[in-house]
Amino acid sequence: MSAATVSNSLAKFIDRALKVTTTDYFEAGHDPDWRSPCEIEVIGTEGKCHWKPVKQARPVDFAGLANALEAPIHEDIAAYYGSYWSGNFEARSFEGPVSLIQLWNDEDFERLIGNLIGHAIAKQRARQPFTVFFATTDPDSELFLSIDNESGKVLLEEPGRPPIKEVEQSVAAFLDRLTPLDVTPAIY
């Protein structure tokens, strides 16, 4: 897969997600100290905002993480996180519920990198290949979906354990088969 394929699949998923809304935008809680380029408007004093994914003018850069890990970051990972500023999306796959993690702003990217460094250290200690999480699954479990940094395959994982199974050959193929849901995104 190429980075363009991942970006195109994500764009198509976003189009499908917007079509299932009745408003052509999404709603989220508003935090004046946690702003995003994807925010369209703040809704009065209700503490909510309308948002719609917006292309990153300058895609986030994984060079620092690659340098810290002394290994390149798979282009599909960079394309997935480097395409849009966006809130998370709820979807369904034939395996079950999925909450796609997206980046809200630059600070969110910095937080992601910090989490990935901790994840990488845990993987090294367990002598497991490095993966990058991009989605959560059932809210009643700790299972998550990740992209294998070497192959780009989508894996189902549980914290601290080897991958449970391969879910899809690529993140683009996975995104192409998701059904977006018109529900407020939640982080599990």
CB contact at 8 A, 145 and 155: yes
Each residue of 73-129: pLDDT tens digit?
A: 999 999 999 999 999 999 999 989 999 999 999 999 999 999 999 999 999 899 999
- For residue 5, the number of C-alpha atoms closer than 13 Å in the C-beta half-sphere is 11
pLDDT category of residue 41 using cuts at 50, 70 and 90:
confident
Give pTM, 2 decimals. 0.93
For the residues 141-148, what does the mean pLDDT come to? 94
Residue 113 is encoded by which pair of tokens?
């990198």
CB contact at 8 A, 44 and 57: no
Q: Please state, as a whole number, how many other Cβ atoms lie within 10 Å of the Cβ of residue 91.
A: 23
Judge whether residue 1 has pLDDT over 90.
no
pLDDT category of residue 3 using cuts at 50, 70 and 90:
low
CB contact at 8 A, 149 and 77: yes
CB contact at 8 A, 149 and 157: no
pLDDT category of residue 188 using cuts at 50, 70 and 90:
very low
pLDDT category of residue 33 using cuts at 50, 70 and 90:
confident
Which has the higher per-residue pLDDT, 81 or 69?
Answer: 81
Judge whether residue 150 has pLDDT over 50.
yes
Each residue of 170-179: pLDDT tens digit?
A: 999 999 999 9
- For residue 161, the model assigns a pLDDT of 87
| DSSP H/E element including 14 | helix 3-20
For the residues 23-32, what does the mean pLDDT come to? 86
